[in-house]
């Protein structure tokens, strides 16, 4: 049995970049993957690739810069099979500039997308994970959060905050089997693959039909 058999995984920013190989790997390990991106067309291409390889995936387009959209995403994903086992907070943006050159708008949107969305999505997903017996959360940070690159003050700062957020989240005591991991962007594909491998756990709950079905947005 594959390690993610009968598990539901949400991957944000999965229409390209690091997110698409994470989504493909989870699907190859048996998960029903919710491929989420603001670009619905790009997310659909990823789903088509997953299905061509024999995996199960669905598109849920979402603008994670909006709190209500984050909550709706989680509820739609939960409605597929009544479970959320994995949440990969991968979506992010990089608006270049130093403190003097970066606009207020670029600073604000960097925090909204890179950090606030994680809070909204985790708050929405955790009750479902706790009720279901456990789960795993992966937050994509960056080595630039620890070793800042020039002219990327907003990105560097938000990714440092992601690391702190994840460490605090890991201290949340729920009484359930929940794991939170910070994924640095160094050697991103290899790290993403190894983290996906590490997330596997025995299935704690039976499914009504004993299988995961593929769902596509109409």
Whole-angstrom Cα distance, residue 123 to residue 149?
Answer: 31
The predicted pLDDT at position 145 comes to 87
Residue 120 lies in a domain: yes
163, 183 Cβ separation under 8 angstroms? no
Residue 23 lies in a domain: yes
CA dihedral for 158, 104, 94, 76, sign (positive or negative): positive
Residue 210 lies in a domain: no
Query: For the stretch 68-104, what's the b/e string if a residue is b when 16 or more beta carbons lie within 10 angstroms of its beta carbon?
Result: eebbebbebbbebbebbbbbbbbbbebbebeeeebee
pLDDT tens-digit map of 61-117? 999 999 999 999 999 999 999 999 999 999 999 999 999 999 999 999 999 999 999
What's the burial of 40, exposed, middle or buried (CB within 10 Å: 0-12/13-18/19+)?
middle
Return the half-sphere exposure (C-beta side, CA atoms, 13 A cut-off) of residue 65.
11
pLDDT tens-digit map of 6-42? 899 999 999 999 999 999 999 999 999 999 999 999 9
Residue 208 lies in a domain: no
The predicted pLDDT at position 14 comes to 97
Whole-angstrom Cα distance, residue 129 to residue 122?
Answer: 10
* Mean pLDDT across 180-188: 47
Higher per-residue confidence, 39 vs 212? 39
Whole-angstrom Cα distance, residue 49 to residue 114?
Answer: 27
Residue 217 lies in a domain: no
Distance (Å) of CA 54 to CA 43, 109, 138, 204:
17, 37, 24, 24
Residue 209 lies in a domain: no
The predicted pLDDT at position 175 comes to 54
Give the position of tokens 């160094």: 186
164, 115 Cβ separation under 8 angstroms? no
Cite the active site residues: 155
203, 111, 204: which is closest to 158 by C-alpha?
111
- Whichever domain contains 191, its CATH number is 3.40.50.720
Domain count, the chain: 1
Residue 25 lies in a domain: yes
Strand partners, 183: 140
- Predicted TM-score (pTM) of this structure: 0.80
* Mean pLDDT across 189-196: 37
- Which residue segment(s) compose the domain that 117 sits in? 8-197
The predicted pLDDT at position 1 comes to 82
Strand pairing class (177-183; 134-140): parallel
pLDDT at 206 over 90: no
22, 87 Cβ separation under 8 angstroms? no
Residue 213 lies in a domain: no
Return the half-sphere exposure (C-beta side, CA atoms, 13 A cut-off) of residue 124.
22
pLDDT tens-digit map of 120-174? 999 999 999 999 999 999 999 999 988 999 999 999 999 999 999 999 998 886 5
Give the position of tokens 């997903």: 125
- According to DSSP, residue 148 is labeled P
């Amino acid at each position: 049995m594959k390690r993610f058999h009968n598990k539901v995984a949400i991957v944000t920013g999965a229409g390209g970049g690091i997110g698409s190989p994470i989504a493909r790997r989870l699907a190859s390990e048996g998960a029903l993957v919710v491929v989420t991106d603001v670009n619905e067309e790009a997310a659909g291409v990823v789903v088509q690739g997953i299905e061509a390889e024999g995996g199960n995936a669905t598109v849920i387009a979402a603008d994670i810069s909006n709190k209500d959209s984050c909550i709706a995403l989680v509820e739609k994903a939960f409605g597929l099979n009544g479970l959320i086992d994995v949440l990969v907070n991968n979506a992010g943006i990089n608006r270049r500039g130093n403190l003097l050159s970066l606009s207020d708008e670029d600073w604000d949107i960097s925090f909204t997308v890179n950090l606030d969305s994680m809070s909204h999505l985790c708050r929405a997903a955790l009750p479902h994970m706790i009720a279901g017996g456990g789960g795993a959360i992966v937050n994509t940070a960056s080595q630039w959060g620890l070793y800042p690159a020039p002219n990327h003050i907003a990105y560097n700062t938000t990714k440092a905050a992601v690391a702190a957020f994840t460490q605090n989240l890991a201290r949340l005591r729920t009484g359930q089997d929940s794991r939170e991991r910070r994924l640095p962007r160094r050697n991103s594909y290899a790290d993403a693959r190894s983290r996906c491998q590490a997330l596997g756990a025995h299935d704690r709950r039976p499914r009504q039909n004993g299988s995961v079905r593929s769902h596509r947005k109409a």
